[in-house]
Structure 1
Amino acid sequence: MRSRVLPRREVLRMHSHQMPQGRAGKLRLDFNENTVGCSPAVRTALRKLSREEISVYPEYESTRRRMAKYFGVSPAETILNNGVDDGLKLIFDCFVEPRTSVFLVEPTFDMYRM
């Protein structure tokens, strides 16, 4: 007999996200879309990257050192994470004790609830 690992019940009850239709040519800020196109400087920088460089995440420590130098801080004062949600989770996991009340402002953008 094979056992299966299933997602939590709450996840199974979730509805899939339905992308709105009929909005071509309209400003769609709710999807955080770039309204002015890619910066020429970014396009130039991307052309200089190899296929491997553009398809993988950069090495963590060398990226931290470069960012620290750019911002004029120590690498020990920097941290890289996987986006804002991950960064906020990391902050709360590190600094907020269990059963502590925290005041949060409701986001002004959609977040997927689980």
Structure 2
Amino acid sequence: MYKYYFRPGYQSKDLLIEVFDGAENETFVSDFFSAISEIKPEMAEVSDLWMNDEILITYDSEIGQFTLSKDIWGFAFVMAENNQNGLNLLNSILEKATLFEKVEVDFEKYK
């Protein structure tokens, strides 16, 4: 099971999804996209940030555009600065997904 927070970015009002447990699994990306397949995500752009050991994948979907960031330390973030409504819908989908568990978080920690 993957555990995630739906939280604000540090010193930001924009929300994001942080997968903090399980993102290091080889099957994470395919499991994530199976869980959200109902919104029909399609890869739009890939950026390999080798200096940060991170990959950014931007997707178009029926609920708008979002970006998945995954690093070598086992963290993954889903961000959608200009699509917060879509990110809320994505969170709603993950809340119902069998492989994902939302962990409540104190928003005050991120101010």
- Report if TM-score (shorter chain) is over 0.5: no
- Per the normalisation by structure 2, the TM-score is 0.23
Going by fraction, where is strand more abundant, 1 or 2? 2
Instruction: Give the structure with higher Rg (CA).
Output: 1
Structure with more contact order per residue of length (Cα contacts < 8 Å, sep ≥ 6): 2
